[in-house]
Structure formats: C-alpha cells, structure tokens
Amino acid sequence: MEARFITRLGDGSAVSLTRSELRAELEEGTQAAARRGKLPPLETAELEHLLDIFASAARFSAVDIGDEVVLSFDGTGTQQQGSRVSALLQYEQCLAADTCELYHIDYSYKAVKTVVSVERQAMKEAQERLTIPVHYGAQPDLGRYSAPDGPCGNWSELLPQIRIGDARAAQEEAVELAVGDMVYVATALWEAGADGINFDTAGAGGDADFLATLLAVERLRAAHADMGIMVGMSGELVIGTHGRLDYRGTRLAGLKPAGQLEVVQRAGATVFGPAVNVNTSRTVAWNIARALTFMKPCMAVARIPVHANVGMGVGGVPMNAFAPVDAISRCSRACVDILRLDGL
Amino acid sequence: MPVAHAVASGMNGLRAAGDLVARLEMARGMRLAEAKQYVAEKLGTSVADLADPLVMHEVRGERRLGRVFETETTYPDDPSPQEAKRHIATLLGLSIRGAGR
C-alpha cells in the first residue's frame, strides 16, 4: 500500500495524499495553467522535483545553501508588535527581513494622501531606527475613485446597465486622479527618506487600475532616476474592466505575468512581483504547479529582479491567516528552485 | 509567514548581507546573481558567505555596516543605523536618502 503524506488544501486544511496522487495534482495544476494561459506546461524534470518536495513527511522544506534569495515585504508588521516603526525594527532584528515596508492601515494611495504628513514623519523615524531598506507601500486602488467614495462614475454599476461608454469614461477620469495621487504620495515619502516605493496589488481594479500604476511609475522614473520602484500584481490575468486601454501600444486587458512584467519594466520599475491566486478547493501541490506555470515565462524576459508574491492566498500559499509552515516553506522553495528568481 | 520564508529561502537580512543585496536590486534593478557578486566583491568575501550569519557578523562589524543587537555580546561602539547606512552607501556606491543629510 502506497504511503500517504500530509499536505494541504488551498484553504490550509490538512489532507493526506499518496505520491501518485501528488503527482496527479502537480500535473493537473500545470495543465490547468497551460490551458488557461496558453502557456507551456512545466517540464517533466521540474514536476519530478516538485514531487520530491511534496512527497515528504518533513515538516519543513528549504532551498539549498547558497540558493538564498532576497525577501521583500509588503505591509510589514502587525498591531501586536507595538508601533508601526517598532514592528519594522522587529522584522529587521528578529525576523531576518531583507527589506521592510512602512504602510498605513488603509493601504490606498488615495487615503494616504490625506495623512501624508504623518506618513512622512513615520518614515523619518523609521529611517533613523533601521538599517535595512524601508520602503513605503500602498495600493493604486482605483475603485475608491468611483461613487459614492469618489468623484467618478461607478463603472461597476454602469457596466451592468450596458452603459459601456460611460463606464469607460469614468475609469479614464479615475486614472488621471489616481496617477496624481500616487505621484504625490510617492514623491512625499521619497523626500522623507524612503528607500523605495511599492505599488502593491496593481491591477486589482482591472486594466485601468494597472494603467494608472504604469503611468505613475513612468512619471516618477522621469523625475527621480535613482528611485527604487516595485510593482506587485494582483493576479495572473489583468481583467479588462475597460477593455480598450493600452500602455505605449500594449493592450493591458488579458496580460499574463510575462506581459505584465514587460510593461512594468518599460515604465521604469526596478522590481516586479507576479501574483497567481490560489484555488482554495485544490491542493497546495496543484496550486504551486499552476502558479509556477504562469510565472515561469517571466524569467525569460526579465531585465529587472522578479520577486514572486507568496503571501496569503497567492503563489500557492494557503488562503489562511495562519498558513502552516509546511505549506509555506514548500511554496517558498518551489519558487526558488524552479524559477531561479531574484526574490520573494 | 515571514519566519517560514526567511528560514526556507531568505538571505538573512541584517544577520548576514541580505539587506545589501536587496538595496542593489531595488535601487538599480540589478538581478540577484549580479547583485550578490557585486556585494561579495565589495566586501572581499565569497558569494557563499553572503547568507552566512557568522561570517557576515564579523565582516559587518569590521566595516561598520550595522548588525543585529546582541544582549550577550554587546557592541557599544557599533554605528547607529544612520551611520551604518552612510558606510553602506559608500561601500555600494549608492545614494541612500535615509542615511541622514
């Protein structure tokens, strides 16, 4: 009788699978991505390596010594750690973080604009207390510019009414406002000493959200040649909520990670973070094979560092606030071993 | 989550040289292999040493690049974070805005 190994579903719950069943999960995961993304599936040797990682009773898995990568963090720290800056210091001193990120709980550039002076002072304090790079991060968050929270029409209401033109016009208006806010906040935090700016979960509001991010990056790069700029994505496909937007000739709707990376590096970012969302009903093995298949084409076109998103619910990591280390460590190792990327 | 990733695949941050490699990736868009090589050459170490906390604790101390606090073995003369960042900026040829002006 074949031995069974404890592994996880995408929600973090434990299940036990045989080596044959794990192999099938990996093969189905890569085929799912290949079909959806019209991408080549992972190679046999890669699937065999993943199988060795998952068909193991070890509680933890890790990369080989010498294969370590840079760990960049979005929204660093929690309330249990005291003040925001104290939390950053704990990440530096106790958690071996290579970088950390000061953030506001609203995590939206539009919201931060109203408290930017407070954020600048917090950044100054962080820079006085930490040695590792301290980035500032928030989300482009285009939805906040639509009614009733913002001044633009609400495209989520306009689209079901088949008012396509109005929905598109509202998004175009929101893009202009979002770019202005992102550039304003990023510049303010850069002047306060930030080592870099993170645009996190870019494209969460669709192609207009992603366009706003790219235009902000482009404008910041033109003004600050030495600014570190990281763009982390929200998903494996850019949703076409507008449908007709392009960045310098590249249509944004439907872009997969490699295409996302190409426009991000063209805009002038220095680090790109692909994100592939987790299916909570499938195993971590299925999810990581799917995620790697989507992300792998990035490595062939990357001129800038690629840091895969491997937080809660992305990059194979279970969608759970208390994701188990057996699953996290396997996803961490799998990304490094298969993709040979620059960071996580 | 951060502990699991740090142990599984991280460069150990200030415990080793992860922050130095990270600075080159972020500020210059330098890929990992090139950034590791660059830092190793500047420090006069091997690339393999960059994630080794024992080696880097000594190297960082000698070059005054900042290091983790130790209650058992204190280093009262270690630089402040801002002074350490000025040394890092000089070592790597970077402009670090948070190093104090």
Give percent of chain A with pLDDT exceeding 70.
Answer: 100
What does the alpha-carbon distance between residue A72 and residue A94 come to, in Å, rounded to a whole number? 15
Rounded mean pLDDT of B40-69?
A: 95
What are the angstrom distances between the C-alpha of A241 and each of A36, A158, A202, A229?
19, 11, 14, 25
**What is the per-residue DSSP string for A128-176?**
HH--S-EEEEEB--GGGGBTTTSSB--HHHHTTTT-HHHHHHHHHHHHH
Distance of alpha carbon A42 from its chain centroid, rounded?
Answer: 22
Query: Are the C-beta atoms of A276 and A310 separated by less than 8 Å?
Result: no
Nearest by CB to A311, which of B1, B10, B25? B1
Of B15, B31, B96, the CB nearest to A195: B96
Query: Which residues of A, range 30-59, sit inside 8 Å of B by Cβ?
Result: none
Separation in Å, CA of B67 to nearest CA in chain A: 8
Using CB atoms, pick whichever of B3, B29, B47 lies closest to residue A270: B29
Letter string b/e over residues B14-49, b meaning 16 or more CB atoms within 10 A of that residue's CB:
bbbbbbbbbbbbbbbbbbbeebbebbbebbebebeb
Alpha carbon distance A90, A290 (integer Å): 34
CA distance B75 to A55: 46
Are B98 and A65 within 8 A, CB to CB? no
Rounded Cα distance between A32 and A45, Å, is: 18
* 187-226 in chain A: CB under 8 A from chain B: 190-191, 193-196, 226
Q: Between helices A207-223 and A257-267, what is the axis angle to 10°?
A: 30
Domain boundaries, chain A: 4-339
pLDDT at A79: 73
Chain A residue numbers with beta carbons less than 8 Å from the beta carbon of B93 are none
Mean pLDDT of A257-283: 98
pLDDT reading at A279 higher than 80: yes
List of chain A residues whose C-beta atoms are within 8 Å of the C-beta of residue B26:
72, 99, 133, 135, 195-196, 228, 230, 270-271
Q: What are phi and psi of A18, to 5 degrees?
A: -80, 170
- Cα torsion B21, B25, B27, B28: sign: positive
pTM of the model: 0.95
Of A68, A131, A311, the CB nearest to B10: A68
pLDDT of A130 reads: 96
Cα distances (angstroms) measured from residue A25 to each of A8, A47, A283, A329, B21: 12, 10, 7, 18, 36
What is the dihedral sign for C-alpha A102, A108, A113, A114? negative
Local confidence band at A78 (pLDDT 50, 70, 90 cut-offs): confident
Q: Average pLDDT for residues A179-201, to the nearest whole number?
A: 97
Q: B80 or B75: which carries more pLDDT confidence?
A: B80
- pLDDT on residue B101: 61
Is the pLDDT confidence value at A160 over 70? yes
Count of CB atoms situated within 10 Å of the CB of A324: 20
pLDDT at site B19: 98
Q: Do the beta carbons of residue B58 and residue B65 sit within 8 Å? A: no
SS (H, E, C) A237-287: CCCCCCCCCEECCEECCCCCHHHHHHHHHHHCCCEEECCCECCCCCEHHHH
Mean pLDDT of A312-338: 96
Q: Are A199 and A217 in contact (CB under 8 A)?
A: yes
Tell me the one-letter amino acid at A186: A
The residue type of B101 is R
pLDDT in tens, A286-306: 999 999 999 999 999 999 999
What residues of chain B, 32 to 61, have a C-beta less than 8 Å from chain A?
32, 35, 47-48, 50-51
Using the beta-carbon criterion (under 8 Å), do A99 and B2 form an inter-chain contact?
no
Domain segments of chain B: what residues? Answer: 2-67+74-99
Residues near A198 by Cβ (< 8 Å), separated by ≥ 6? A72, A74, A101, A135, A136, A137, A138, A230, A231, A232
Q: Which CATH class is domain A4-339?
A: alpha beta
Which residues in chain A have their CB less than 8 angstroms from residue B11's CB? 68-71, 98
Classified as helix, coil or strand, B75 is coil
Q: Is some CB atom of chain B closer than 8 A to the CB atom of A244?
A: no
Closest Cβ–Cβ partner in A127, A190, A329 for B4? A329
Examine the pLDDT at A81 and tell me if it is beyond 90: no
Mean pLDDT of chain A, nearest integer: 96
Q: What is the mean pLDDT of chain B?
A: 93
Residue B88, C-beta contacts closer than 8 angstroms, at least 6 positions apart: A131, B19, B20, B23, B65, B66, B94, B96, B99
